[in-house]
Amino acid sequence: MKTLFLSSALALSTLMTAQVIQQPPAADSTIIESVEEATPTGGDVVWHAIKISGLFSDLNEGVITKEEAQAKMDSIISELYLASASFFENYVPDTVEEALSWNDDFSAAYSGPDSTQYSQEHYDTTFEDFDFDFSSFFDDGPKTKVGVFGFHLGPNALVLSDRSMSSAMDNMNAGLSWESRIFFGQKRRIGGVKSPVQFETGLGIASSVFSFKNGMTIDKDPMMFGAANLVPISGLSNVRRSNWNIGTFDVPAILHLDFSPKGTFDEGLNISFGVMGRIRYLSQAAYNGEDMDGDFYTEIRTNSFHTRLLNYALVGQLGYKKLKITGKLEQLPLFKDNYFPEEAYLGSITVGYSLN
């Protein structure tokens, strides 16, 4: 308890020292002496703190014993307690009335109807200069551009240069060979809000799946010096499924004639022509079935099979409102030159839905 009181006293001594320094010198020393006799000042507390410091110094140097130091400390603490209690009992801050007066002056100058800085009308009209109108975000007026999201799904095929079916299709299930695409882009109206001409660009991702039948798959045939070919699956007594998946990134650039009402998109008949570039990022063949012992077996092979990394296609589209029918035919053979028995081109006809 004494230690706690001592710590408080030392902190108080610092405060009182500052108070003593701020007090102006008195003109009449006689008056000061009479006041000091009546009311203890911060100097009394400072003096007791000095005595405590000297006591610790004497104890550390061995000038006095521990018992003597304890007795002197008890005496100093008693004197300090009486002095500090008397000081706080008679202490009145000199700045209280001044602070209260400044607060009243500030309130009168900067707030309320009696403000001398600004009139009440200033506060009432401050926020009228700010525009919080968000109606433009929901404007249904004529537009010159719009974001587009599309999804397309339909059958695909390998065709020859004369647009006849490739012989490879004899070993494929046409009803299970499909192309699917999703697309994110933007349509811009060319020539103002009344123009029916629109230009569409964006980025899509597509998957072309070929489903093989007759126990066939695609592979690099050693009988053809490593060229790609459709070959029988060996080692299985029964083939349940055999697919080849080609994944691509698509970049379309399509010109539309959209006969929608002024300023709208996909609200009427629309006819479109354009090109679509593509980058192959996946070529994967997989099959599964039963081996010679009747156990389930699956195999997945990731290989380009000599297909082109880059290609482009012509695109034609007929739509009514949101519904679209799209024909796409690549203009370069799917396989590199002399790496497949036929010069086959990838084509598809898909039905899609466009949201904008």
pLDDT digits (tens, 9 = 90+) for 113-127: 555 555 555 545 544
Q: Which residues pair with 202 in a beta bridge?
A: 185
Boundary residue ending a domain (91, 116, 151): 91
- Domain presence at residue 137: no
pLDDT at 11 over 60: no
Q: Are residues 146 and 285 in the same domain?
A: yes
Confidence of residue 60 (pLDDT cuts 50, 70, 90): confident
Residue 156 — pLDDT band, cuts 50, 70, 90? very high
Q: Please check whether residues 268 and 308 belong to one and the same domain.
A: yes
> Is there a domain that residue 174 lies in?
yes
Same-domain check for residues 75 and 123: no
Mean pLDDT of the chain: 79
Beta-bridge mates of residue 151: 182, 353
**Alpha carbon distance 303, 297 (integer Å):** 20
- Return the ∠ at Cα 249 (arms to 298 and 333), rounded to 5°: 80
Lowest mean pLDDT among 13-17, 72-76, 259-263, 292-296: 13-17
Most confident range (mean pLDDT) of 8-17, 231-240, 263-272 is 231-240
Distance from C-alpha of 344 to C-alpha of 218, rounded to nearest angstrom: 14
Q: Judge contact between 209 and 244, C-beta under 8 A.
A: yes
Within a domain: residue 34? yes
Whether 11 and 123 map to the same domain: the answer is no
Domain boundary among 91, 119, 153: 91
Does the pLDDT at position 197 exceed 80?
A: yes
**Do both 46 and 195 map to the same domain?**
no
Backbone region of residue 266 per phi and psi (left: phi > 0; alpha: psi in -120 to 50; beta: other values):
left
208 DSSP β-pair partners: 179, 246
Q: What is the mean pLDDT of residues 321-345?
A: 96
Q: Give the confidence band of 191 by pLDDT, cuts at 50, 70, 90.
A: confident
**Tens digits of per-residue pLDDT, 253-288?**
999 999 888 878 888 999 999 999 999 999 999 999
Distance of alpha carbon 200 from alpha carbon 258, whole angstroms: 12
> What predicted TM-score, i.e. pTM, was given to this entire model?
0.60
Residue 322 sits in a domain whose CATH number is 2.40.160.20
Q: How many domains does the chain have?
A: 3
Inform me whether the pLDDT recorded for 10 exceeds 50.
no
Domain shared by 109 and 158, yes or no: no
Give the pLDDT confidence score for residue 101 in this predicted structure: 62
33 and 59 belong to one structural domain: yes
Residue type, 313: A
What pLDDT band is residue 63 in, cutting at 50, 70 and 90?
confident
Please compute, for residue 92, the number of CA atoms within 13 A of its CA located in the half-sphere on the CB side.
5
Task: Look at residue 135 and tell me if it is in a domain.
Answer: no
Q: How confident is the model at residue 18 (pLDDT cuts 50, 70, 90)?
A: very low
Rounded CA-CA distance 355/323 in Å is: 9
Domain range enclosing 250: 142-355
Distance set, CA 41 to CA 8, 25, 87 (Å): 17, 14, 6
Residue 40 domain-assigned (yes or no)? yes
Domain-located, residue 134: no
Identify the pLDDT of residue 50.
76
Judge whether 190 and 230 are in contact, CB under 8 Å: no
Which of 129, 151, 177 lies at the terminal end of a domain, its last residue?
129
Is there a domain that residue 70 lies in? yes
> Are 117 and 176 contained in the same domain?
no
Q: Is the pLDDT of residue 248 over 60?
A: yes
DSSP annotation of 169: G
Q: What pLDDT is recorded for position 74?
A: 78
Contact between 228 and 235 under an 8 Å Cβ cutoff? The reply is no
Q: Is residue 247 part of a domain?
A: yes
Contact 277, 314 (CB under 8 A): no
Q: Are residues 18 and 150 in the same domain?
A: no
Q: How far apart are CA 19 and CA 69, in angstroms?
A: 30
Question: Hey, CA dihedral for 249, 157, 330, 180, is it positive or negative?
Answer: negative
| Residue 350 to residue 325: CA distance in whole angstroms | 6
pLDDT-derived band at 75, boundaries 50, 70, 90? confident
Based on the fold, state whether residues 63 and 161 are members of the same structural domain. no
Q: Is 128 left (phi over 0), alpha (psi -120 to 50) or beta?
A: alpha
- pLDDT bracket for residue 20 (50, 70, 90): very low
Considering 20-24, 138-142, 222-226, 280-284, the range whose residues carry the highest mean pLDDT is 280-284
Are 119 and 213 found together in one domain?
no
165 shares a domain with 283: yes
d(CA 158, CA 164): 9
